[in-house]
Amino acid sequence: VNINQQWPVPYRRFDHRPVADSYCEAMFPFCPTGNMDGMIPYMNNWDVISVFRLQAPVWEFKYGSLLGKMHIMHDAIGFSSAERGKNYTMEWYELFQLGNCTFPHLRTETSAPFWCNQGAACFFEGIDDIHWSQNGTLEKIGEISGGQFNDMAKWVQQDNQTGIYYETWTVRSDPSPNSTLWFDSYDCSQFVHRTYRYLTQQGALLSSRSQTRFFG
């Protein structure tokens, strides 16, 4: 073992997002109601934007609260502009669904393993109150200015261009509580944590009654 090895292995970022291989097929269109080129609306600097913590069981549309009972949750962030009177949802998830990010493909014509594991941010107008509150969480955690929102929007675009691969698995050295984290996951909840961290670094005061749990 390399004694200088840094654990966990840092998440690898890239300088651009490649076009996904046509072999990769999505069961559902990615970010169907979002702006096609991922643009995020510009707010007036003096606007007051409420920030919401959103959480719902993964695949609730298909299995209801089932995965929530195993604490397998999808995390997102909601925004509400006082000046525009509009709500928005921002989330990060797989382009080709969870299975493709969890298991690779074996293809005769390409070297194994072949992955269809891109993930990306999705920003769209509206917050589906029922979806988030019926089996999960819809909680106001703070307010930011329009200027702070605009800075965050720029940061999300950069984050989205460089952090392109979804990682389902968290890999540890052994099952014990004090095991070494070898590889961290990179999923919806990590995006939410990164965004909270960015906003608090910009001076936002965010507080939640409960923690945004990592899966596992």
Ligand X SMILES: CCCCCCCCCCCCCCCC(=O)OC[C@@H](O)COP(=O)(O)OC[C@@H](O)CO
Site residues (vs ligand X, CB under 6 A): 58-60, 72, 74, 91, 93-94, 98-99, 102, 168, 187-189, 215
Catalytic residue among 74, 101, 116, 122: 74
β partners of residue 78 = 52, 89
In the complex with ligand X, the residue whose CB is nearer, 149 or 215, is: 215
Give the residue among 197, 90, 204, 80 at the shortest CA–CA distance from 142: 204
Write out the two tokens for 56. 């719902």
Shortest reach from residue 157's CB to ligand X, in Å: 19
Q: Which is nearer to ligand X, 155 or 214 (CB)?
A: 214
In the complex with ligand X, the residue whose CB is nearer, 123 or 145, is: 123
Least gap, CB of 187 to ligand X (angstroms): 3
Structure tokens at 49: 């934007």
Shortest distance in whole angstroms from residue 75 CB to ligand X: 6
Q: How far is the CB of 104 from ligand X (least distance, A)?
A: 12
Task: Answer whether 80's CB lies under 8 Å from 87's CB.
Answer: yes
User: Can 74 be counted among the known catalytic residues?
Assistant: yes
Smallest distance from ligand X to CB 39, Å: 18
Whether 16 sits among the annotated catalytic residues: the reply is no
Q: Which residues pair with 105 in a beta bridge?
A: 114
Q: Is 18 exposed, middle or buried (0-12, 13-18, 19+ CB in 10 A)?
A: exposed
| From 101, 116, 122, 188, active-site residue | 188
Task: Supply the DSSP string of 76-87, one letter for each residue.
Answer: EEEEEETTTTEE
CA–CA separation, 103 vs 21, rounded Å? 16
Asked if residues 80 and 127 have their Cβ atoms less than 8 Å apart, the reply is yes
For ligand X, the closer of residues 137 and 150 by Cβ is 137
Nearest Cα to Cα of residue 11 among 195, 214, 190: 190
Nearer CB in complex with ligand X: 160/189: 189
Active-site residues, by number, are: 74, 188
